[in-house]
Amino acid sequence: MAFETNQVSTLLDRLPAVLQEDRQAGAPNFLGRLLLGFEEVLLGSGQPQHPGLEETIARIYTYFEPGATLGDDQRAPPEFLRWLAGWVALTLREDWDPLRQRDLIAKAALLYRLRGTKRGVEEFLRIYTGNFTARGVSVDELGMAWQVGVHSTVGTDTWLDGGAPFFFRVHVAVSSPQDMKAQGAIARAIVDLQKPAHTSYSLTIDAPIFQVGVRATVGVDTLVG
């Protein structure tokens, strides 16, 4: 802390007169200088980046708020996110941006209630893969009726005599062919953790198809073979 030579703590004015007997105009006494350190800690320096203890305690609730939709002054600092994640038994990925981490922490309690359900698997996959589009993630329990043009391809989305018992299919769409391997590993780990123990599944990872002028750069957004 750096203070001006003649600076005196404002806390001195709140003390009994007997403690100010050696105070002289224009010359700070020892106690007035000593209290500067306490004032800095208790009341702060008046700058947002250095709040006082009183203000910090008044805003301590923000350290428990993931705040995916809140401003920085109303939510936990980024360095507290891993601590918050530990409260709900989550492991945050290193390559996630803070906003996605906050979103998962905020939804963790709800997602645990959905564990083992179709919706729960889909929601976990959407958050962990960052794919929030309507058709980006889907879980098919193979219980849908045969429908021409909807569910009517034998071996793909239709099985004669019904599908295998306790079997479902998972589909995840990725934005780039380079993401297929990494996102596939993530998706499989999530499904293994979230599905009921007695069930089995198949996983399909799809990337955008080759389109001239749209997706046509080999090695960037297109893979040959």
Task: Check if the beta carbon of residue 224 is closer than 8 Å to that of residue 216.
Answer: no
Confidence of residue 6 (pLDDT cuts 50, 70, 90): low
Domain locations in the chain?
10-56, 114-225
Phi, psi (deg, nearest 5) at residue 201:
-155, 170
Instruction: Summarize pLDDT for 96-127 with one digit per residue, the tens.
Output: 788 888 888 888 888 888 888 888 888 888 87
**CA atoms in the 13 A half-sphere facing the CB of 36:** 14
pLDDT-derived band at 190 (thresholds 50, 70, 90) equals confident
DSSP 3-state assignment of 86? helix
Question: What single-letter amino acid sits at 216?
Answer: A
pLDDT at 170 > cutoff 60: yes
Gap between the Cα atoms of 85 and 102, Å rounded: 9
* More confident site: 106 or 54: 106
> What's the rounded mean pLDDT across residues 71-95?
85
